[in-house]
């Protein structure tokens, strides 16, 4: 079982992860519009990752016998100045998500909620990878600056990012992850 306070906090995190998916979907749409198909692919793969993150929280709340309560998802921005602008905003958003995961972990520790601590460890590790990925791409974009050839090369590289996470959650997270090899 989990406390009412933990249930509320986990439901809030479902919303943050859904907003993350929405934000990266908006960035993907913007990149497609700009003809940056590789960047669009990267952000669409990221969208799927965020849906997985949201669904893992959703399932965990239910497995604990608690109630899922969904809230409205905030509208994401539609316009972005440049790929660097998008990745700078992505990193800032991921740092916000990292802080929210840390807050959840602090709550789980304060409540001596061992199950939630174990569950949240996956997200603690995941956030390190997310921030690292963003930092790597920001470094490349700063190196490229306004060089169109460099931007096209990075676009081709990002086109290769494959979605190796589940996209069908109808049979539960664990079977979906096993089926996708994630």
Task: Using the minimum distance from each CB to ligand FEO, give the nearer residue, 130 or 155.
Answer: 130
Q: Is 53 annotated as a binding residue?
A: yes
Task: Using the minimum distance from each CB to ligand FEO, give the nearer residue, 94 or 113.
Answer: 94
Query: Could you list the residues that contact ligand FEO (CB under 6 A)?
Result: 17, 20, 50, 53, 94, 97, 130
Task: Using the minimum distance from each CB to ligand FEO, give the nearer residue, 11 or 151.
Answer: 11
Q: Is 30 annotated as a binding residue?
A: no
Phi and psi dihedrals of 77, rounded to 5?
-65, 155
Q: Which residues contact 10 (CB under 8 A, 6 or more apart)?
A: 2, 57, 60, 61, 66, 104, 116
Type and span of the H or E element at 116: helix 114-144
Q: Is 17 annotated as a binding residue?
A: yes
Q: Which residue shows structure tokens 């998802």?
A: 73
What number of helices (H) and strands (E) belong to the chain?
6, 0
Q: Is 117 annotated as a binding residue?
A: no
Annotation: binding site for Fe cation: 17, 50, 53, 94, 127
Annotation: binding site: 17, 50, 53, 94, 127
């Amino acid at each position: 079982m989990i406390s009412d306070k933990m249930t509320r906090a986990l439901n809030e995190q479902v919303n943050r992860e859904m907003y993350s998916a929405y934000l990266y979907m908006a960035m993907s749409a913007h990149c497609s519009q700009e003809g940056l198909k590789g960047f669009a692919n990267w952000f669409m793969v990221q969208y799927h990752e965020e849906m997985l993150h949201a669904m893992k929280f959703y399932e965990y709340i239910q497995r604990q016998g608690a109630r899922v309560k969904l809230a409205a998802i905030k509208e994401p921005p539609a316009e972005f100045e440049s790929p660097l602008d998008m990745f700078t905003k992505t990193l800032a958003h991921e740092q916000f998500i990292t802080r929210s995961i840390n807050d959840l972990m602090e709550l789980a520790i304060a409540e001596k909620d061992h199950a939630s601590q174990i569950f949240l460890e996956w997200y603690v590790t995941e956030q390190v990878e997310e921030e690292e990925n963003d930092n790597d791409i920001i470094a490349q974009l700063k190196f490229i600056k306004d060089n169109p050839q460099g931007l096209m090369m990075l676009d081709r590289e990002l086109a290769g990012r494959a979605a190796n996470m589940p996209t069908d959650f109808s049979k539960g997270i664990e079977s979906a992850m096993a089926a996708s090899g994630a």
